[in-house]
Amino acid sequence: MPGSHEVDWVSLELAAQEAMRHAYAPYSRFPVGAAAFTEDGRLVTGCNVENASYGLTLCAECTLVGALQMSGGGRLTAFYCVDGEGNVLMPCGRCRQLLYEHRAPGMQLMTVSGIKTMDQVLPDAFGPENLEAEEH
């Protein structure tokens, strides 16, 4: 598991802030940007994309996961999310589940209370392992 000293958190923060500037958030006026590193060293980013049918809004993490898949897939090692002022933002509950699916072992997140692991922000999570447990 990579130690937190190995993660370039400053680059991740800057990439999340840059991504945030691409947000489409005319309804909430709450732009969000997200950035993550992959196991093979790629940087993937995302921004929230809202919709006139409000419930269809894509969080920044949704578009980040799309970017992950479109750029070769793989797993996320470190994640950073920011609000419109560039401050750290916690991923919503749904997006913690999204990130969990694509986490590398020991994936770290910058949070409002410091660096945490995926398992700390979504303990005892439901995940792909559960679907492998039984024949259906």
65 class by beta-carbon count within 10 Å (0-12 exposed, 13-18 middle, 19+ buried)? buried
Q: Kindly tell me which residue out of 12, 61, 107, 110 binds ligand THU, with binding defined by CB under 6 A.
A: 61
Half-sphere exposure of 48 (CA within 13 A, CB side): 24
Q: Which residues of 70-109 are buried (b: 16+ CB within 10 A; e: fewer)?
A: eeeebebbbbbbbbbeeebbbbeeebbebbbebbbeebbb
Q: Kindly tell me which residue out of 4, 11, 57, 97 binds ligand THU, with binding defined by CB under 6 A.
A: 57
Task: In angstroms, give the least distance from the CB of 13 to ligand THU.
Answer: 16
Candidate list 61, 85, 101, 132, residue with the active-site label: 61
Window of 54-62, 69-77, 110-118, 126-134 that interacts with ligand THU by CB under 6 A = 54-62
The residue to which tokens 């370039």 are assigned: 8
Residue ranges in 107-136 that form contacts with ligand THU under rule CB under 6 A: none
63 is a contact residue toward ligand THU (CB under 6 A): no
For residue 13, indicate whether it is catalytic: no
4 is a contact residue toward ligand THU (CB under 6 A): no
Q: In sequence order, what are the residues at sequence separation of 6 or more whose Cβ sits closer than 8 angstroms to the Cβ of residue 64?
A: 19, 34, 35, 36, 44, 45, 46
Binding-site size, ligand THU (CB under 6 A): 13
48 is a contact residue toward ligand THU (CB under 6 A): yes
Residues that bind ligand THU (CB under 6 A): 25, 28, 30, 32, 48, 50, 57, 59-61, 91-92, 95
